[in-house]
Amino acid sequence: MARRPWSFKEDRRLMELAKSSASLEEAAKALGRSPDAVKRMALRLGLSLKSKASKKS
């Protein structure tokens, strides 16, 4: 599968989602990207996103 470059607009959207405490899965869905791609970009931008799967009840 070919990688699509991230646009500045997508970077900003990811920052907004991280600031609003969106989960990794929610951010991936909102951006139309895989959770892995979102996780990699979040790390590159120094953002932290929590995965729904890793939350403890």
Q: What is the mean pLDDT of residues 38-48?
A: 96
CA distance 11 to 41: 8
User: For 26-32, what is the mean pLDDT?
Assistant: 97
Give tens-digit pLDDT for 9-26.
999 999 999 999 999 999
**In which band, very low, low, confident or very high, does the pLDDT at 57 lie, cut at 50, 70 and 90?**
very low
Read off the pTM. Answer: 0.84
pLDDT for the residue numbered 3: 84
